Each structure stands twice: as structure tokens, then as C-alpha cells.
Structure 1
């Protein structure tokens, strides 16, 4: 990566529900985190769509986006992402067109094709979603038409979206969406914070196949990482036990609320060193400022991405805020 390259940094929020923390408090924490992210210089605050997961409360993604937008001033608010096969393109256009008018110049539309849940729940959301997965590129085109359409003769219109500026981002956790983003000349976001395996292959496809468009002249890439930063390595390791247990739950299908942190005992260390978990946590950076900074610099050097988006699953709100503050200080130093 060129030494003078400025790398933007953003925050991915899942409105994680901690043990003994009610949803009302979770949403308060989400707003506070967005306000702090704005203060710390983060470019975007994106919310992820997940369903039927007790530990994640961002299922009504656009509703929460609007709630956050009303309580912040300049940070971009977006979806990381809306799982398009769960939704009608018309409804997506109407919702994001409305958001784009409510918060001009601040709304991002990130779209993915994964269900964001298990298959049974995905079927309950939209019974024909399997067909919709295959229509993902077509439905992207459909949404774009709703935004640029101004013909009164068109039978179906999303009038609240017409002419509204809402940039679109294509999300992926495999190589499939890299082809789509490249062909359509759109920014590409890779979920390397939980699915790092195909990061480099997907990015190579995106850059190699990218076609300039009316939306983007050159490729623009974003990659996700997990960060648990604290003032000491020992404190960060303790804080990371909550995320570690959460990841184990994801792998085993035994999902639960985010647990309070504990000491990193021998049993947890053994779990952490499990090959499957290590693959998932390849870009999970745990430690003090120096440790996280070194790992972040290495990640940026290896990937050359234009922007990094960071997630952090920390039980205590103040510790989570401190982690994001440390990371913002690291990025400011990298960019100086």
C-alpha cells in the first residue's frame, strides 16, 4: 500500500444484546456508539440485518438507521447490509429514498444476498427467496431504476426515491458478489471480519473485472475486521472472551446473549486455538494500542483496501467505546 494512501475507517454495528441487557438499553447504546463514532472521526456507521438471533437486535435495520440518523449530525448512516433476497426491491427503494430525503448526503445502501439467518427463518421471511438469490444482479438494477426514474408513464414508481442521492455498495463473503460489484461499477465490501477465507481472491476478481460506471470511475474496496482494544493486552484478552463465546455459539448453532467477560482460562484458550475458530478469527485483532496498530498496519499493507470497517463485540458499553476510541487514534496515526 502506498505510504501516502489515506484509508477511511468506519464502524459496523449489530446492536448486540448482552446478557441481562434489555432491548431498550441496547438501542440507547447503539445511539451513543454512533455519536461517539462521529466524535472519533469514523466515516460511516453501518447496521447489519440479522433475524431470529437473540444476541442481535438490528433486525429492523432501516428503522434503526433512521433512529440513529436523527441523533447524529454528519456521520454517514448505512446498511451493512440489507439482505436483498429478503425484500422487495420496490420497498427497499422506498425506504432508502425516504431515508435519503430525511438525512441528505448521509445515507448508504449496502446490499447483500445472504439470508442473515438460518434457512427456516429465511423461508418465513420470504418463501420465494431462493429464486430471489439468483435474481440478485437483476434486483440491483431494479432498485437503481427506481432511484433514477422520473417518467410519469411508468406504471410502478418509487416516487420518494426518484432523484435522491443514496450510494449503493455490494457486500460479499465469497467471490460471487465480487463479479457483480465489478460488472456494475459499484463499491465492494468484503465480510472478512467473519469470513476471511476468500478475501484476497474476491478482491483480485473485483479489481481485475471492474467496469467504470456513472456511479464510480475506479474500484473502491472496503474490508471488515474485528477489534478488541484496551489500554493493556491483559484487559483486551479478558474483554475478548465475550466475543469468543459468541463465535463458538455461531459455529455450533448454540446462539445465546453476549456473555459477560471472564478470565481467559485454559479451556477458553483451547477453544480459541481450535482451527475452525482460528480461520474465522483471522482478522480479529485483540490487544493494546501497539498490538492492534501493528496488526492493522499489516492488514492494510496486505490488502491495500480503500477503507476498513470494524466490528467489536464487547459486553461493557464503556469498554466498547474505549476500544473504538483507541482504534480511531490508531487510524489517525496511520493516516498522518
Structure 2
């Protein structure tokens, strides 16, 4: 064991839409993955908010959260995250208060301030969102107040949220949100699965500046990684070609459905070596059990995080379920 604490492990799902896979099947696959994750001992299953992307179907995040929560029993269901500037704090409180009552003790509220889309779409979602971006810390306070029992004398209330236990997590991909999470005494989740550049700086800020709060008395950190695990390195590499092409589309603005995997070609290998792509995928672990285990152990040792949250963009559902099963076995070994 690398350290004297057990590392929790969780799932981040985007309800990725594959080529020739209808949304009904995508949502069925998401539920199946959540059920499998619950069976395998994952701590939480989070869904991310994105908009105007043909390859991502988790845009109505709280709706999908409710559907997944209804189809599972014990695993925590949350948002990774709700992009707060897209929404009013009152509506967020009402939605999560409702979820917290429907699925008591199982709902997490992860909040970020990125748009989760391009700027044109962000403007279509909420034309004044930039004002909300600057007010992110204040709007976090607003949501927390809506969840308190003592709001009976205020004119605007989220009555379905009052007294409901829904833990809040602050998401970030730079150092900005690290300051916010630390100041407010909340758990911090870093998006190192696609934006790793400031991971260590952000974590250092978070731990150094953390102020105990009524919600958490000590810091709690989560970091994201991508994992594609298979029986052999060659098989994992082939499966990873779907994710590789998807990431190239994100970088070039040429977004498309997740493509079927293909044999790793010299051309794709060259693309994978692109400096910008390599930086983005610094914590994308692809390989067999031993390869993934070594990479994961190194990541835990270097970061000191309390929890890992795993994203996997894999075309075939059976390959995806197997990858998460292998990773669960690995984490059980690391924690033993």
C-alpha cells in the first residue's frame, strides 16, 4: 500500500453518444454502467453538464441524475458538474433539494463555472452568464443559504431544499476554484483528466488555504483521470482510438460522434504524439492491468488525493464495462 489511507474511486460519465447509437441506447448504457459501478464498489457516479455537442447526451444533467438514481440503490449520484453560471442559484437549490429528498443520502452537488460548451451556445443558455461567472463565490453562498432551515422569514425560499443534506463540491481546471473551495471549506475536484496543467499548483493552494467549515472540517480532494483498461496493451490501444479521435475533434473544433475503434495506425500514433494532445492526455492511462496499476499508483503517490474519479470514452459497452471492472480490481489491490 502506498499510503496509510484508502483511496475512494468513482465514475464520471458524459453519456457519450457513439456513431450509430441512438440516445435511448446511450441512456440505457449509462444506467447499466452505474449499476455495474455500484456492484464493483465505486463510491459515486457523476454526470457532467455539456451543451451543443453531438457526442455528449448529459446536457439535462439533473434529469439524467434522477433517472440513474432511480435505477440504482446505494451508489452516490452527482453532478460533475453543474455549470453554475448557466443557472440561477434558486433553481439549482430546488432541483438538488428535490433530488436529495427523493434519494436521501445519495446526492452530490458538484459545481463549476466553465460554460460546458462554446461561447455562442453559452450566450444562448444565459445571456448574462458572464456576470454570474464573476459572482461564482457569492452564488455558492446563495445556494447554501437556500438549504438552511432558518430561511422561514425570507421572501425567496427554496422550500424543497431547506434542511436537506446534499454535500457541495467545487470543480475546477485552474487555480481559481482552488481558492474558492479552500475559503469556503468545501471539497475540491480537479479536472486533470483533460486539463492537467495546473493540477499540482491548484492542490497546493487548496490544502494550504483550506479553512474548516460547518460542512467539512478538513480538506478533501478528488482528481480526474482517463482509463482504458483491457486484457492486453494492444487491445487497450485499439479501444483507445475512439477516444483519441474524439479528443482531436475537441481540439480542432470538429466535433463528431464517438467513432468505432480501429487498429492503431502510424498516423494515429503520430497524432497521439502531438505536444498539445499529449499535455491534455497526460493522465490518460491505456493498457493492461499492470500498466494501469502502475500509472494509477504513481498518480496517487504524486498527488496525494483522497479520491480518483474516472472517465472512459469507449465505444462498445462491453469494453467499457470491462475497463471499469478491471480498474475496480486494481483499486482494491492498491487499497489492500
Q: 1:293 — aligned with what?
A: 293
Q: 2:245 — aligned with what?
A: 245
Q: Secondary structure at the match of 2:150?
A: coil
Q: For the Cα contact (< 8 Å) 2:2–2:334, is it kept in 1?
A: no
**Superposition deviation, residue 2 in structure 1:** 5.5
**Superposition deviation, residue 152 in structure 1:** 2.6
**Superposition deviation, residue 3 in structure 1:** 2.3
Q: 2:305 — aligned with what?
A: 305
Q: 2:73 — aligned with what?
A: 73
Q: 1:143 — aligned with what?
A: 143
Q: For the Cα contact (< 8 Å) 1:94–1:158, is it kept in 2?
A: yes
Give the distance between the partners of 1:318 and 1:102, measured in 2 at CA. 31
After superposition, the CA RMSD in angstroms is 0.8
Q: 1:98 — aligned with what?
A: 98
Q: 1:38 — aligned with what?
A: 38
How many residue pairs get aligned? The number is 336
Give the distance between the partners of 2:51 and 2:25, measured in 1 at CA. 19
Give the distance between the partners of 1:152 and 1:248, measured in 2 at CA. 51
Q: For the Cα contact (< 8 Å) 1:229–1:322, is it kept in 2?
A: yes
Matched, 1:262 2:289: no
Residues 31-63 of structure 1 deviation map (CA, whole Å, 9 limit, x = unaligned)? 000000000100000000000000000000000
Q: Secondary structure at the match of 2:122?
A: helix
Q: 2:112 — aligned with what?
A: 112
Q: For the Cα contact (< 8 Å) 1:80–1:171, is it kept in 2?
A: yes
Matched, 1:234 2:231: no
Q: For the Cα contact (< 8 Å) 1:149–1:157, is it kept in 2?
A: no
Give the distance between the partners of 2:195 and 2:41, measured in 1 at CA. 26
Q: Secondary structure at the match of 1:196?
A: coil
Q: 2:329 — aligned with what?
A: 329
Q: For the Cα contact (< 8 Å) 1:47–1:78, is it kept in 2?
A: yes
**Structure 1 unaligned runs (5+)?**
none
Give the distance between the partners of 1:259 and 1:14, measured in 2 at CA. 15
Q: 2:185 — aligned with what?
A: 185
Q: 2:274 — aligned with what?
A: 274
Alignment of 1:206-225 (within 5 A): 206-225=206-225
Give the distance between the partners of 1:2 and 1:179, measured in 2 at CA. 28
Residues 277-332 of structure 1 deviation map (CA, whole Å, 9 limit, x = unaligned)? 00000000000000000000000000000000000000000000000000000000
Give the distance between the partners of 1:213 and 1:153, measured in 2 at CA. 24
Q: For the Cα contact (< 8 Å) 1:146–1:162, is it kept in 2?
A: yes
Give the distance between the partners of 1:202 and 1:327, measured in 2 at CA. 26
Q: For the Cα contact (< 8 Å) 1:210–1:219, is it kept in 2?
A: yes
**Structure 2 unaligned runs (5+)?**
none
Q: Secondary structure at the match of 1:148?
A: coil
Q: 1:28 — aligned with what?
A: 28
Q: For the Cα contact (< 8 Å) 1:10–1:42, is it kept in 2?
A: yes
**Superposition deviation, residue 162 in structure 1:** 0.1
Q: Secondary structure at the match of 2:30?
A: helix
Give the distance between the partners of 1:3 and 1:276, measured in 2 at CA. 33
Q: 2:320 — aligned with what?
A: 320
Give the distance between the partners of 2:321 and 2:99, measured in 1 at CA. 26
Q: 2:62 — aligned with what?
A: 62
Q: For the Cα contact (< 8 Å) 2:2–2:297, is it kept in 1?
A: no
